[in-house]
Chains A and B, each alone.
Chain A
Amino acid sequence: SQTIHQWPATLVQPVGSPLSLECTVEGTSNPNLYWYRQAAGRGLQLLFYSVGIGQISSEVPQNLSASRPQDRQFILSSKKLLLSDSGFYLCAWSAGPGGGYTFGSGTRLTVV
């Protein structure tokens, strides 16, 4: 069966520090991968998605970036965090059109 792993679960970082969040999927090949952010008490905002290695689509211009160095690995990064980057970051995968989207357990990021 397929599983999705996301870490760390919780992160507190100072303003201006770098960020690296990792997401990996097991039990499938060539998944579509997604990064969403959820501000406190709000809906989900799509940040990036990828349909293959090295292929990244950015939905919202900001100081975050994403990379997909391997088929089942998706990384969210920032060189310098802002206070507004605080939120709940969720990674998701899907097998393609018509399939469901399965979410990881999330990373709660607080920028102080």
Chain B
Amino acid sequence: ELKVEQNPLFLSMQEGKNYTIYCNYSTTSDRLYWYRQDPGKSLESLFVLLSNGAVKQEGRLMASLDTKARLSTLHITAAVHDLSATYFCAVAPGYSSASKIIFGSGTRLSIRP
């Protein structure tokens, strides 16, 4: 059974600092997703990573995937308050024929001035 673990679960950081959120998963996969959720809202897609070594960047966020290590990272550069939210990774079990994705517990990010 696929298990997806994120850490840290909570992160409080100052504006301007850099930090990384980690997403580990337990079985083979070649598809990993990152989402953002604001309080009381639905999920917004950030990145779709489809191969080993994939790296995608959008603004101050950069995501990467290492399928051999079963690890994805979401790196935040020079954080700003607007990035405060809960971030989820999700993994599709097995290879590309899988239809479902399983979510990690989420990382609640709070960025203070």
Stretch in B13-21, B42-50, B74-82 touching the partner: B42-50
Report, as a range, how many residues of chain A touch the other chain. Answer: 20 to 34
Within 8 A of B (CB), among A43-86: 43-46, 49, 51, 57, 59
A98 near B50 with CB under 8 A, answer yes
B31 near A49 with CB under 8 A, answer no
Contact of B48 among A42, A44, A96, A100 (CB under 8 A): A100
A94 to B96, CA, bound (A): 13
Decide if B103 is an interface residue (CB 8 Å cutoff): yes
B104 near A102 with CB under 8 A, answer no
Question: Could you mark each residue 70-113 of chain B with 1 if its beta carbon is under 8 Å from any beta carbon of chain A, else 0?
Answer: 00000000000000000010101000111111111110000000
Report which A residues bind B (CB closer than 8 A): 32, 34, 36, 42-46, 49, 51, 57, 59, 90, 92, 94, 96-106, 108
